[in-house]
Amino acid sequence: MRYDIYFHGGCFDGAASAAMLLYFLRLRGDDYGKFIPLTHPINKKWWKKLKPKNQMAIVDIIYHPKAAIWFDHHPTTFIDKKWEKNFKNDKNHVLNDGSPSCTGLIYRHFTKKFPPKADQPLAEKIGPPKRIKNLAHWADIIDRARFGSAKEAMGFGSAALRIAKSFVDKKPSLDYAKLLIKALSEKPLAFVEKFKPVRTRFLKHKRDLKKSLPEIKKRLVLRGKVVVLYGMEKRLAGARFASYYFYPQAKYSVRILKRDNNYVLSVGQNPWNPPKRPMIGQYLEKKYGGGGHSVAGSAAFTKKSDALREALNIADYLNKHV
């Protein structure tokens, strides 16, 4: 059986989840058809009406009842109340918002709950190879930013981090995502990072980061316990953690980012100085129809003035909930 794999595009965990699923699909004699990246904000009308022609597998993103396989760890994954009500975890459909990464969730599902049987075509009787375990390990660290500090998160201390950096700051390119997904499912991280396109993109990120840090610093404003990043008309490398690098006392950050024709507010908690009870994704979903999980989320606006005003409103709301 061939599955079209829909994955969270432009995200290391999204690509790594697709790679992890591909590994276990092949183990049972299945394979992929197409890779289809999905990025937020998702066109909900289109998604509700979607009637996939091929078998659909979805990882690290939005639920669809027609999916033959679906794994996610985002609590805002249901865009329809009925879908949520009728959903049950089973062998091929799993939601676990406690899992630090979707890659790790898939790995644990197929190794612990449904380990491959010895008579499966390619089953490795001694369990999955170390590289697959490693991929889950690093996705768990990277997707939840489980680093010792903002500096470490922005650094290049492991092959997984270098690969992730080669991926996150570039506008998601499907060709590159495909290359990475296949590589990650077949080769160890230390091998993948030596691929020329990976290396080239990583080195570019390194140069970009050096240039962008002073620019980011100029655009940061601390409002109570929330650091707000203004004026991001262009993508600046390293912007995800730089807020906490420059303002470690902040509990939250709000970033105003330009994405095509939208102004996206990306909201997160400081992983190194977390608030007590963050409810970010849920709040953004309720108020703006955005999405995310408890520690990070986003909301999109078409007008810049709306985005700027709501960035401050969100900051004020968060200041009351530190």
Q: Which is nearer to Mn ion, 143 or 310 (CB)?
A: 143
Quote the least distance from Cβ 200 to Mn ion, whole Å.
25
DSSP three-state, residue 163: helix
Residue 201 has what DSSP assignment?
H
- Contact of 8 with 39, CB cutoff 8 Å: yes
- Contact of 36 with 59, CB cutoff 8 Å: no
Binding positions for Mn ion, 181-220, rule CB under 5 A: none
102 contacts Mn ion (rule: CB under 5 A): yes
Question: Which tokens in the block code for residue 256?
Answer: 């105003």
Residue 168's nearest CA partner among 235, 105, 215 is 235
- Scanning 87-95, 142-150, 188-196, 217-225 for contacts with Mn ion by CB under 5 A, the matching segment is 142-150
Tokens 């997707």 belong to 143
Side-chain-facing half-sphere of 234: CA atoms under 13 Å:
6
Q: Which is nearer to Mn ion, 13 or 169 (CB)?
A: 13
169 contacts Mn ion (rule: CB under 5 A): no
- Scanning 56-64, 84-92, 117-125, 203-211 for contacts with Mn ion by CB under 5 A, the matching segment is 56-64
60 contacts Mn ion (rule: CB under 5 A): yes
Side-chain-facing half-sphere of 143: CA atoms under 13 Å:
30
Q: Which is nearer to Mn ion, 24 or 71 (CB)?
A: 71
Q: Which residues pair with 93 in a beta bridge?
A: 70
DSSP three-state, residue 76: coil
Quote the least distance from Cβ 19 to Mn ion, whole Å.
13
13 contacts Mn ion (rule: CB under 5 A): yes
Quote the least distance from Cβ 223 to Mn ion, whole Å.
28
143 contacts Mn ion (rule: CB under 5 A): yes
Question: Which tokens in the block code for residue 163?
Answer: 């690969």
Binding positions for Mn ion, 25-44, rule CB under 5 A: none
Quote the least distance from Cβ 207 to Mn ion, whole Å.
27
> What is the contact surface with Mn ion in residues (CB under 5 A)?
13, 60, 102, 143
